[in-house]
Amino acid sequence: MTDLIVVKLFLFTVGQVVHTLPEGEAIGGVTSLAGEIFLLRPKESGQVEVYDVITYCLLRRLTVPDFRSVADMTSCAHAVCVYISDAKGKCVHRLDAQNAAFTRWTVEHRPRGLSVNPSHNVLVACHKVRKIKEFSSHGDLLRELTLPDDVITPWHTIQTRENEFVVCHGRRGDAVHRVCKMSADGRHIVHSHGGQRGSGHGQYNMPVHLALDDNEFVFVADASNRRVRLLSPTLGHVSDIVSRDQLKWGPRRLCLDVQRKRLYVADNEWNETERKWTSGRVVVFSV
């Protein structure tokens, strides 16, 4: 199916709010697995809250052992586990969802965004060194890719079925904020969307997280512009799937449940004076 045909399906689609999970401490990550929603509130000791995906009732709470500071969260249906990146701890925590057992492995550099690729391995974006690291489900380092010099501060990456990488990059102070599709070796930019930091139609202000649907359309959390954008597989702009009017603060993390057609958005408040995330909630959208 071509981009043009699928774009027509999405042209007038805007996500509709169907539920909002309780407001509280800032949300460090959100994911779904086996009929449950997992979210992490990192302020205290790294507490995972688990909700039913249908009723949105709180089922249980889990505490991540030896937790220092959260960066992201993702899950793998194949391995039936949840992964949590720990920036200060320079590690990834693995939660076995079947027995609630935690293990962890070292990343060496500070990890940021996490995703699981089509081979069921874990991709870790290490933003300060511009690297993507691929690990097995139990933490064996499989490969390490260094991104080009102009891909500064990569927050998150997702691998496509064709083994290319979609990467979002740009933090406060960086001149360039954009989403790129990289070649399979991570060395070349195949497509890109964005450029100079801003709030215009083709601009971003901290694109910090991504989600990919079955047609490889790309959802982008444009944090400081308080919106979620939808891009085609070649990174052409389709629409703003979530607008600032639908959020209280700004999108920090995304999780797309393709089967249920639900987009989970971690909506967090940034305190500029204190330079930290202070409050958060997860807003559930139908898409």
Mind listing the pLDDT tens digit for each residue in 52-104? 999 999 999 999 998 888 889 999 999 999 999 999 999 999 999 999 999 99
**pTM reported for the whole predicted model:** 0.93
Whether 284 shows a pLDDT value over 90: the answer reads yes
| Residue ranges covered by each domain of the chain | 3-269
CATH class of 3-269: mainly beta
Containing H/E element for 143? strand 141-146
Start-end of H helices in 101-220:
none
How distant, in Å, are the alpha carbons of 60, 94, 181, 252 from that of 283? Answer: 19, 25, 27, 11
Q: What is the pLDDT of residue 45?
A: 62
